[in-house]
Chains A and B, each alone.
Chain A
Amino acid sequence: MIKGYVASLLSAIFYGSGHVMTKWAVSGSTPPIVGATISLFCGVIVLYLVGWKDFSFGFEKSRKALLFVLAAGALAAAGVVMLYQALFIAGVAIVSPFAGTTPIFTMLGSYVFLKKIERISFGLLVGCVLVTVGSVLVTVG
């Protein structure tokens, strides 16, 4: 459990730092979609260099799992493009509060698709809403 919480917090730190840089970078003359392409390209290369020893396609284990991961990648790509475009159109102050609502959608998705794996307890629901509202307040503040 602790491993998972530490990983999630590290993820928050890396995403946070990356987004601060992205917000600054998309204000330049490079089109957002091109910026996203370069970012993803460098991300894939570095992650593959770091993890190539442990990398395997995993087809043999479950084709279904692989399809879910590929679908997740495509959805994340759509998310990146829309976020970059939104930042380009409306700016950080307007976009950030709306972009910060991701946990609410994850919770709804978990409720619909992960009924057998994850249970949404009342505590988790309250915590999720508090963190989302708190993040929006911090962002607009």
Chain B
Amino acid sequence: MTNLVRVGPLFQSEIMHQFSGDPIWGMILAVFSAMCYGVSAVFIRLGLRSLTPINASILSLATSLAVVLIMSLILEQKALFSISFPAFLVFGACGIIAFAFGRYFNYAGIKYVGATRSVTLRSISPFFATLLAVLFLGEAPSISVILGTIFIVAGVWIVVNSSYE
């Protein structure tokens, strides 16, 4: 463990040094991230046959925390224990909103309408962000945003009205 902790930051910095100049690694990581989330929702659907959404959310969040904490201790031990209070507050707020409430409602949705429907509906979140920007910041929507909104509305309508089994 001590060796790993010593090697950790070096390993991390080497990776960052190699990757930071090439956005292709960002794209590859993003696709793998989407794959992990996608399969995770399928596994949750299987788990929710016996567990309640609140139980499943707490257990899965605790598992996620254990995995990430171990990686953090190995790779960024110093930064973990020297995080500033404002940064702690910001990341903490992100966690409460996205992980506590976002994940609980996501699992409740999976329980009642299935993994594919729930994850599809959940993925319209950029639409809400854009809507807020248009309503409160006065941003003018681009053609891409208007087209995307039409696709989302049509897609949601089809998903909600498609036969459920």
Contact = CB atoms under 8 A, between A and B. Distances in A.
Interface of A: 1, 3-5, 7-22, 24-25, 28-31, 33-44, 46-48, 50-51, 54-58, 61-62, 64-83, 85-91, 94-96, 98-110, 113-114, 117-124, 126-141
A77 B144 CA distance: 32
A89 B23 contact: yes
A4 B26 contact: no
A137 to B, nearest CB: 3
Contacts, number: 501
Interface string B20-45: 10110111011111111111111111
Summarize A's interface: helix, strand, loop or mixed.
helix
B92 A90 contact: no
A16 B162 contact: no
B63 A74 contact: yes
Question: Chain B binding site: helix, strand, loop or mixed by DSSP?
Answer: helix
A17 B128 CA distance: 8
B130 to A, nearest CB: 5
B126 interface: yes
Contacts of A39: 91-92, 94-95, 98-99
24 contacts: A12-B128, A17-B128, A33-B68, A34-B72, A35-B87, A38-B91, A46-B95, A55-B54, A57-B59, A65-B48, A68-B46, A72-B40, A72-B56, A73-B63, A79-B40, A80-B64, A94-B26, A103-B119, A105-B39, A106-B38, A106-B41, A138-B130, A139-B148, A141-B143
A42 B37 contact: no
